[in-house]
Amino acid sequence: MSKSILIVDDEPDIIKLISDILSELSFNIIKASTVKEGLDCIKNKSFDIALLDVSLDETKRDGVFLLKTIKDKLPETQVIMMSGHANIQIAVDAMKLGAFEFIEKPFSEQRLINFIKRASEILDLKVQNKELKENYFKSYEFIGNSPSIKKIKNSIDKIALTDSRALIIGPSGSGKELLARKIHLNSKRRDNPFIVLNAATINPLNYEIELFGQVKDNQDIFGLLDKANDGTLLIDNVLDLPLEIQGRILRVFTDQKFKRVNGTKIINVDIRLICTSSIDLYDEIQKGNFREDLFHRINVFNFELPPLKRRLSDINLLTNYFIKEYSTNLGKKFNIKLDKIYELFYQYDWPGNVRELRNIIERILILGENDTKKILNIVKESFGNLNVNKSQGAMDFNLPLKKAREQWEKVYLSQQLKINDGNISKTSKAVGMERSALHRKLSSLGIKI
């Protein structure tokens, strides 16, 4: 769908010149030559970009007045100001009021086209970000009631309202990107871009261009820093950034400005930075693989996402949540007793964490056909024999009955404590014992709480 551009200028030749240039680029043109006509267009027309001359037919109301009106009524519209006798102060004031760019007459055709294309790219990015937010942010919730997850949830709202940088540490599949998106969604930047740089997958030869953009054939090509302006940049797997790029990232987020590759213009940015890592960065600093100054810059707030095997009490919630989500998406009702599945789930080490649980639930719903036996086989095949906790159910049949019973009780109660996050009250209810009796049993078995 082609975009519409409003041109307001009291010189007919200028309107015709701009119209001819932009018509060839398939833009719809809306013309106005007075302040009144411009106000009528703002009130009654729909447009994406506005080109406004500063000096118009009225003395008290000019192009800057129209700029204020547009930003008040149509804040997403990208406005480019024009002037034949501009000074630096006019340009600065216009930019402060929300103008996207300022162009001085007479201007070259290519310069105007570059500005229009960049404004169009920003509009496209905002649309993509809105669609992404609607699709992704609603796809999965940050689920869990275990103490570690509750602690994180209680911190999200407080931290999200600030612009402070955050570092999220956790194993692969534990939900680091989901947590970063949750912080962004709860922040004042929620309606602005959320841009992801996966440092592990980007081509090392293109790092600078991907991040900073470039000037090529006199055209500005946006990088991720341009696209993340006023929003949030997530650097996933930050440890994989080359040391040289780490230094440049540090400089950008110290000064909040940068230059594009081959460019001379200083680009000012306002970006919130969130980084993730599955590896302890302290150790990597000692090894010389990560800059200590960058670590202190990004580690204003620190989140540690635990592996799924350390939050077993969340498995029930997560399983039911994924079943509900996938059942809705697949249009398939899931009628199976989950008890036997949970027995296997609680014994598994979950090397792939929450992502692995989500994938197994999807596999069950697609292949299981509501057949309990078939579903159990799917789970067992998915787990294999490598990652089942060997202490679970392992029994030495050479032991006397009393010793074998003690061994089983120790395994059983240790597992119940894990499932209930070490909470004695919850565990006593789960196993059907009084608190005092459970305490004595744990003590006699040598289980530390």
Give pLDDT tens digits for 174-214.
Answer: 999 999 999 998 999 988 889 999 998 888 778 899 999 99
Query: Given a cut of 60, is residue 389 above it in pLDDT?
Result: no
Q: What was the pLDDT predicted at 89? A: 79
Q: How many CB atoms lie within 10 A of CB 262?
A: 12
For residue 392, pLDDT over 70 is answered with: no
**Residue 109, amino acid:** E
Q: Determine the residue type at 82.
A: M
Beta carbons of 8 and 66 less than 8 angstroms apart = yes
Average pLDDT over residues 96-112: 88
Q: What is the pLDDT of residue 350?
A: 92
> Residue 391 — pLDDT band, cuts 50, 70, 90?
very low
- Identify the residue with better confidence: 385 or 125: 125
For residue 282, CA distances in Å to 59, 169, 200, 275 come to 63, 12, 19, 15
Q: What are phi and psi of 205, to 5 degrees?
A: -75, -20
**pLDDT attached to residue 445:** 72
pLDDT, position 41: 93
Structure tokens belonging to residue 127: 């649309």
φ, ψ at 148 (rounded to 5°): -65, -40
Q: What's the predicted TM-score (pTM) here?
A: 0.65
Residues 162 and 189: their CA atoms lie apart, in Å, by 10
In the predicted model, what is the mean pLDDT of residues 134-138?
48
| pLDDT-derived band at 355, boundaries 50, 70, 90 | very high
> So what's the pLDDT on residue 108?
86
CA nearest neighbour of 22 among 11, 10, 12, 14: 14
The residue type of 350 is W
Mean pLDDT (the chain) is: 85
Instruction: Tell whether the model's pLDDT for residue 80 goes beyond 80.
Output: yes
Please report the pLDDT score of residue 399 as a whole number: 66
- Is 70 exceeded by the pLDDT of residue 131? no
Give the model's pLDDT for residue 29: 92
Residue 146: enclosing H or E segment and its boundaries? none
pLDDT value at residue 386 = 45
* pLDDT value, residue 297: 94
pLDDT at 337 over 70: yes
pLDDT exceeds cutoff 80 at 313: yes
Query: Tokens for 317?
Result: 């919630």
Q: What letter does residue 383 receive in the DSSP assignment?
A: H
| Mean pLDDT confidence for 320-343 | 80
* More confidently predicted of 37 and 343: 37
Element holding 170 (H helix, E strand): none
**Of 370 and 123, the one with more pLDDT:** 123
pLDDT greater than 70 at residue 11: yes
pLDDT value of position 137: 44
Predicted pLDDT at 140: 62
- For residues 397 and 210, the model is more confident at 210
Q: For residues 40-69, b (16+ Cβ closer than 10 Å) or e, as one string?
A: ebbeeeebbbbbbbbbbeeeebbbbbbbeb
Least confidently predicted of 91-95, 97-101, 214-218, 436-440: 436-440
Please state the rounded mean pLDDT for residues 217-238: 90
- DSSP-derived secondary structure for 204-228: GGGHHHHHH-EEETTEEE--HHHHT
Structural domains in the chain, CATH included, are 4-125 (3.40.50.2300), 144-306 (3.40.50.300), 310-383 (1.10.8.60), 401-445 (1.10.10)
Confidence of residue 390 (pLDDT cuts 50, 70, 90): very low
**What pLDDT does residue 393 have?**
47
Is residue 419 predicted with pLDDT exceeding 90?
no
Q: Is the pLDDT of residue 398 over 70?
A: no
Q: What is the pLDDT of residue 1?
A: 55
> What is the mean predicted confidence (pLDDT) over 22-41?
90
Is 395's pLDDT higher than 70?
no
Q: pLDDT at position 136, please?
A: 47
pLDDT above 80 (res 170): yes
